Amino acid sequence: MSTHAIDVDVLRETGQGIATEEMTLNMGPQHPSTHGVLRFVVKADGEVMRRAIPDIGYLHRSIEKIAEKVGYHGFMPYTDRVDYVSAMQCNQGWAMACEALAGIKVPRRGEYCRVIASEFGRLASHLLSVGATGMDIGAVTPFTHAIREREYINDILEELCGARLTFNYMRIGGCAWDLPPGFVGRATKFLDRFEPLIDEYNELISFNKIYVERLANVAVIPREMAIAYNLVGPNLRGSGVKYDVRKDAPYSVYPEFEFDVPVGTGERGTLGDSYDRYMVRMREMKESCKILRQALAGIPEGPVVAKVPRTFRPPVGEAYVRVEASRGDMGWFVVSDGTAFPYRVHIRTGSFAAMAIIEELSKGLMIADLVAVIATLDIVAPEVDR
Amino acid sequence: MQQFADYLLDEGILAGLPKSLGYALVIAFFAFVLLNFIMLVAGVTSWLERRVWARIQSRVGPNRVGPQGAIQWLADGIKNIMKEDIVPTAADKPLFKAAPYLAMIGFFGAWACVPFGDGLIIADLNVGVLYITAVTGLVVVGILMAGWSSNNKWALLGGMRSAAQIVSYEIPAAIAVNAVIVLTGTLSMQGIIRAQGWAPWNWFLFDNPFTFVAFFIFFVALLAEGNRTPFDLPEAESELVAGAFTEYSGLRSLLFFLVEWGNLYIIGALCTSLFLGGWQTPHFTDNGFVLGLVQFVVFFLKSYFLVFVAMWIRATLPRVRVDQLMSLCWKYLVPISFVNLLGAMLWVVAFPHGFLPARLGMFLFGIMVTIYFLMRVAFHLRRARPEMSWNPIA
Amino acid sequence: MTVAEIHRLLRERLGTIVSDELKPGDWPVCEVRGQSIAEVCAILRDEPGIAFDCLSNLTAVDRKAADTIEVYYHLFSYAHGHRLVLRASTPRPDPILPTVTHLWPIADWLEREAFDLLGVRFTGHPDLRRILMPEDWVGHPLRKDFVEPDEYHGISTRRESLLKL
């Protein structure tokens, strides 16, 4: 968050005898389309950007430092705040990192509960993302329709753990609570309603001519660039890399489920453009529904949490686990020194990389495109800063 | 209006006054009535837009103030007037303060030529269409001034966008109107309406294929001139915060919004007068008052239908980008409207007194399009399952 | 190529720069001499059979007891699917490491973060300045001996313990 280092250089060019000045625009930290508090210093020539320099740190809550002070169990509620749009997967990441340190095995029912919770979290997050993309492009209607369904998902998750945004549902060794009575029926009922709605969203907005024009061929990220910048999740798959941690480095009980990994195809423009990233999210929602149906149908009996001592002292060592969060491959790095407090925690998030790529990506785009790029990269500010 | 003023001066309550003073009084009176009417229309439009929007977005919308929230606009207006009027320190103060009024003048002036009924027009200028096109252009000066004087780069970008957009789209709009003007040979609004009939096949919309095309070009161009979605770039809230109006607060920002919503009605009124038969009704009674009232209602309903369409479009479509906006105008609308104008001229040469089969054919075509559209709506209504408004997990 | 083979190849090419111990696991860890990290990374990225095309994570750990700062490089290959963790140590009072920004552009921000929070200086980094903390912040908060200043720009950071209230 260094504001002064970005020098205000005024460029004067005399192309065809007309002198133009580069304009420095300050976009954010308070701006309607920067989801959360992001800041861009935009160097623009009229409507065309020369560069958009991301400036982060406005939401830095020192979560990694907090981890060193509160102990392993106590850190769980804080993980919700790492990415509050899909907090379930952050819960899962932390729990899995601790389990990897101590070699704890989660009961199968616990794993199923985790999968159900985090796939609902993914649906909620993707709904918000695609809705907000529409909103940023100027179509207001899809947002409210997406949010309407997201509210029902929040109801479902509220039944599960009593919270609607920051869940604190998972524990080291499993989940805090078992599914409430009748949960499976209600969740299936919701899926029956929701699955056809995805097609309706597509009809409503995805194939709209203006919408496609605004997203297709905008901010193309080629495959190599996506990998070099360590883009993850839907952003990476939008560039045509078929990689999903759930599939290619499986964790939890994901290998037991059948689902596809949608990748960008460049159907309306170039491979890796904003439209591909958007469509990957649309299709992933369908896959999540598939996983949810299988998980709800096949949930085994048994305990949901393993026996874990109240003061959790993992052996000396380090663990790096990756979970497929809504914004992709989220890396949790934990170093233990054998005490009840983590020695060091580092969280490598999807939005961090997505934010880092913007400076390179924004060259030559228009200001209106920057908004579309932020939206389709699905940048969530707390995840960038932690 | 002139007849009315003359009547009042000769034998009415103003008898004995100097002629110029009398005229001034009458003008002031009509301006006052019109201003209040505009406030009413703009206010109700703002409420209606929010309700229509809410319905489309499966929300409720404002429903607290008055029945169904019908006087929400009044509450909003009062709230806005009570608010602090903030002028940024670094703003160019005289320009900043003057800008909303300039926009208001441009918009208010256009209403003088809106024909609500046979005699219900403030001034039936013989250059009415030209006058409206020219006067609404003043709005752009206001918005540009607001953008520049705010001393805010977002506002400046919004102002520049607005200027580029309005100036560009005036061209296809003006040329599209010419397709009608070659048919009537007059620029007077009343003249154009009188040249049409009450029956749909006597409307200029269905007169010949060229006016049919001209109507859509005109409507799209007017949407762009009125800064309506999908052309609402000057105030694109997700990009430019609030565009040219970013720094405005209180009454001044209210005036800009008044212009926007009032403009919406002007769009409807212009399209109705030029293409949809205006206030034309069958001459079913000799009672001038009743006839005038019916004409007013007919005109109002027709224009409001178009206002509703504009709201509908706004709730449906995303916003175009500025380069797409310009290419739509210069690469598509302008050439099409020129070709269209040429076609309309040839048509007039070929059929100086109109061509009834073409009219009926166009009308039938219009009916078919409407039926197809209604079928689509019915299809989607049928598919929209009743359980949509029901909580699935309750 | 398995990770063990990669490790053997590194030993052959670079000798003692790479430690001969490879800690097994999901992410095998291998100790590398700090000053040569860029060299090792270049081989790991560019060798066709190895092709670590992605720097999955870069983070630093303050080992106060050993008076070193360890920087972890989590490498991942989308081409082959193998993973390797490089661990480079650097003296705690003056932690300096060569940058890997030229190999993986994402290292730019990750190194900035490590610099900001732990004070590791990466030589050759194009734009090494604070990323999360304010520019005028004193100290590196994730260091074990970091003491929070009493106030920042006149804002007190001290408050009563909630337990006492």
Burial C117-150 (b: 16+ CB within 10 A, else e): bbbbebeebeebebbbbeeeeeebbbbeebeeee
- The token pair that represents C107 in the structure block: 């290292």
B336 pLDDT tier (thresholds 50, 70, 90)? very high
Shared domain for B302 and B335, answered yes or no, is yes
- pLDDT above 70 coverage of chain A, percent: 94
Q: HSE on the CB side for A244, CA within 13 Å?
A: 20
Q: How many alpha carbons lie under 13 Å from residue C6 in its C-beta half-sphere?
A: 28
Task: Give yes or no for residue C165 having a pLDDT over 70.
Answer: no
Asked if residue B385 is part of any domain, the answer here is no
Chain A residues whose CB is inside 8 A of the B241 CB are: 31-32
Burial (CB count within 10 angstroms: exposed 0-12, middle 13-18, buried 19+), residue A310:
exposed
Q: Is residue B376 part of a domain?
A: no
Q: Say if residue B124 is in the same domain as residue B16.
A: no
Which of B54, B393, B386 lies closest to A151 in space, CA to CA?
B393
Residue A331, both tokens: 């890396």
Alpha helices in chain B (DSSP H): 2-10, 19-56, 72-82, 93-110, 128-149, 153-184, 189-194, 209-225, 237-240, 250-275, 288-316, 322-327, 334-350, 356-383
Q: For residue C55, report the phi and psi dihedrals to the nearest 5 degrees.
A: -90, 100
If asked whether residues B70 and B122 sit together in one domain, one would say: no
Distance CA A108, CA C131 (A): 41
Asked if residue B360 has pLDDT above 60, the reply is: yes
**pLDDT tens sequence across C21-52:** 778 778 888 888 888 888 888 888 887 778 88
Go through chain C and tell me how many residues it has. Answer: 165
Same domain? For B120 and B6 the reply is no
The yes-or-no verdict on residue B170 having pLDDT over 80 is yes
Going by their DSSP bridges, the two strands A317-325 and C121-123 should be labelled as unpaired
Average of per-residue pLDDT across A318-340 = 88
Percent with pLDDT over 90 in chain A: 6
B54, B82, B110 — which closes off a domain?
B82
> Does C54 contact A at CB distance below 8 Å?
yes
Closest residue in A to B56 (Cα) is: A141
- Give me the half-sphere count of Cα atoms (radius 13 Å) on the Cβ side of residue B287: 5
| CB contact set of B180 (below 8 Å; sequence gap of 6+) | B192, B204, B211, B214, B274, B275
**Interface with chain A: mutation pick from C29, C45, C78, highest number of A CBs within 10 Å:** C78
- Residues of chain C with Cβ-Cβ distance to A228 below 8 Å are 53-54, 104-106
- Asked if C109 lies within 8 A of A356 by C-beta distance, the reply is yes
CB contact under 8 A, B317 and A210: yes
The pLDDT value given to residue A31: 77
Please indicate whether chains B and A are in contact, defined as at least 3 beta carbon pairs under 8 Å.
yes
Q: What is the pLDDT of residue B342?
A: 92
Residues B20 and B93 reside in one and the same domain: no
The three-state secondary structure class of C73 is strand
pLDDT over threshold 50, residue A3:
no
β strands within chain C, DSSP E:
18-23, 29-32, 54-63, 68-76, 83-91, 96-98, 121-123, 151-152, 155-156
**Do A and C count as touching (3 or more CB pairs closer than 8 A)?**
yes
- Answer with the residue of higher pLDDT: A41 or C11: A41
B121, B115 Cβ separation under 8 angstroms: yes
Please tell me which of the candidates B229, B238, B316 has its beta carbon nearest to residue A136: B238
Greatest CA separation found in chain C?
A: 64
Q: Nearest chain A residue to C45 by CA: give it.
A: A228
Task: Over range A364-376, report the average pLDDT.
Answer: 86
Residues B152 and B193 in one domain: yes
Interface of B with A in 21-60 (CB under 8 A): 53, 56-59
DSSP assignment of B265-314: HHHHHHHHHHHS-TT------S-HHHHHHHHHHHHHHHHHHHHHHHHHHH
Same domain (yes/no): B179, B313: yes
Q: What is the dihedral of CA A335, A336, A340, A345, to 10 degrees?
A: 0
Smallest CA-to-CA distance from A37 within A28, A25, A45 is with A28
As given in the structure block, the two tokens for residue A11 are 């460029």
Contact A64 C117 (CB under 8 A): yes
Residue ranges of B 205-234 with Cβ closer than 8 A to chain A: 229-230, 232-233
Would you say residue B287 lies in a domain? yes
**pLDDT tens profile B177-227:** 888 888 888 888 888 888 888 888 888 888 888 888 899 999 999 888 888
Quote the pLDDT of residue A370.
Answer: 86
Q: Is residue B190 part of a domain?
A: yes
Task: Please check whether residue B324 touches A, CB under 8 A.
Answer: yes
Contact status, residue B131 vs residue B113, Cβ threshold 8 Å? yes
What own/partner pairs with CB < 8 Å and gap ≥ 24 does C47-53 have? C47/C9, C49/C1, C49/C80, C50/C1, C50/C6, C50/C9, C50/C77, C50/C80, C51/C77, C51/C79, C51/C80, C52/C76, C52/C77, C52/C84, C53/A224, C53/A227, C53/A228, C53/C77, C53/C78, C53/C79
Q: What is the pTM of this model?
A: 0.86
Give residue A6's pLDDT: 39
Number of domains, chain B: 2
pLDDT number for residue B153: 83
> Residues B49, B139: one domain?
no
pLDDT at A8: 37
Joined tokens for residue A33:
């389309």
Whether B16 maps to a domain, the answer reads yes
Please report the ipTM that was assigned to this predicted complex: 0.87
Name subunits touching B (3+ CB pairs < 8 A).
A
Among residues B354, B373, B389, the one where a domain terminates is B354
User: Can you give the three-state secondary structure of B343-364, one letter per residue?
Assistant: HHHHHHHHCCCCCHHHHHHHHH
Q: Do A189 and B392 touch (CB under 8 A)?
A: yes
Whether C102 contacts C79, CB under 8 Å? no
Residue A329 has pLDDT above 80, yes or no: yes
- State which residues form the domain around B285: 87-354
| Residue A7 predicted with pLDDT over 50 | no
The token pair that represents B349 in the structure block: 């040469």
What's the maximum distance between 2 C-alpha atoms anywhere in chain B? 78
Mark which residues 83-142 of A lie under 8 Å from C by CB.
Answer: 100
**How does residue A5 score in pLDDT terms, banded at 50, 70 and 90?**
very low
Token pair of B198 as six digits:
């009450």
The pLDDT > 90 percentage for chain B reads 4
**Contact: A1, C131; criterion CB under 8 Å:** yes
Q: Is the pLDDT reported for residue C113 higher than 60?
A: yes
Does B173 fall in a domain?
yes
Is B375 within the bounds of a domain? no
Domain boundary at B36, B58, B82, which? B82
Instruction: Please determine, for residue B394, whether its predicted confidence score (pLDDT) is greater than 60.
Output: no
Q: According to the model, what pLDDT value does residue A4 have?
A: 40
The average pLDDT across A332-360 equals 88
Task: Give the integer Cα–Cα distance in Å for A75 and A315.
Answer: 18
> What's the CA gap between A48 and A56, in Å, rounded?
23
pLDDT of residue B335: 92
**Is residue A343 over pLDDT 70?**
yes
Alpha-carbon distance of B159 to B141, in angstroms, equals 9
A4, A65, A333 ranked by CB distance to C57: nearest? A333
pLDDT of residue C35: 85
From chain A, the residues in CB contact with C109 under 8 A are: 352-353, 355-356
Extract the tokens encoding C151: 């106030």
Q: Who among B160, B230, B322 is closest to A368 (CB)?
A: B322
Which helix (H) or strand (E) covers residue C157, if one does? none
Q: Note whether A229 contacts C: Cβ–Cβ < 8 A.
A: yes
- Which residue of B317, B381, B390 is the best one to mutate when testing the A interface, meaning the one whose CB has the most A CBs within 10 A? B317
Pairing of strands C96-98, C121-123: parallel
Q: How far is CA B384 from CA A95, B189, B374, in A?
A: 42, 43, 15
In this prediction, residue A18 carries a pLDDT of 62
Over chain B, what is the mean pLDDT? 83
Closest CA to B228 of B120, B149, B307: B307
Split at pLDDT 50, 70, 90, the class of A372 is confident
Residues B205, B300, single domain; the answer is: yes
The predicted pLDDT at position A213 comes to 87
Residues A86-118: tens digit of each pLDDT: 888 899 999 999 988 888 888 989 889 999 998
Q: What integer pLDDT is reported at residue A10 of this predicted model?
A: 40
Q: How far is A355 from chain B (nearest CA, A)?
A: 18
Q: Does B386 touch chain A (CB under 8 A)?
A: no
Q: Which of B49, B43, B31 is nearest to B78 (CA)?
A: B43
Q: Which two tokens stand for residue A40?
A: 């861009």
Q: A189 and B157 in contact by Cβ < 8 A?
A: no
- For residue B280, the model assigns a pLDDT of 83
Q: What is the DSSP letter of A86?
A: S
For residue A202, the surrounding DSSP H or E stretch is none
Rg (CA), chain C: 18
Over residues A155-159, the mean pLDDT reads 88
**8 Å CB contact of B57 and A139:** no
A228 touching C (Cβ < 8 Å): yes
- Residues 56-85 in B contacting A (C-alpha not used; CB under 8 Å): 56-59
Domain identity same for B342 and B318: yes
Exposure of A207 by Cβ count < 10 A (0-12 exposed, 13-18 middle, 19+ buried)? exposed
- Dihedral angle of Cα B232, B238, B243, B248, to the nearest 10 degrees: 120
Is the same domain home to B27 and B121? no
> What does the alpha-carbon distance between residue A163 and residue A141 come to, in Å, rounded to a whole number?
27
The Cα–Cα gap between A47 and B157 comes to 8
Residue B365 lies in a domain: no
CB contact under 8 A, A366 and B321: yes
Q: What value does the mean pLDDT take over residues A345-356?
A: 88
pLDDT at C144: 84
The CB density around residue B64, as the number of other CB atoms within 10 Å, is 9
How far is residue A72's CA from residue A172's CA, in Å, rounded to a whole number?
8
Radius of gyration of chain A (CA): 21
Contact indicator for C112, C53 with CB cutoff of 8 Å: no
> Do B299 and B229 fall into the same domain?
yes
pLDDT, position B372: 93
What pLDDT, in 10s, does the model give residues A29-80?
877 766 778 888 888 887 888 888 888 888 888 888 888 888 888 898 899 8
Which residues from chain A sit within 8 angstroms of residue C135, using beta carbons?
A: 1-5
- The rounded distance, in Å, linking the Cα atoms of A278 and C102 is 30
C117 touches chain A (CB under 8 A): yes
Q: How confident is the model at residue B384 (pLDDT cuts 50, 70, 90)?
A: low
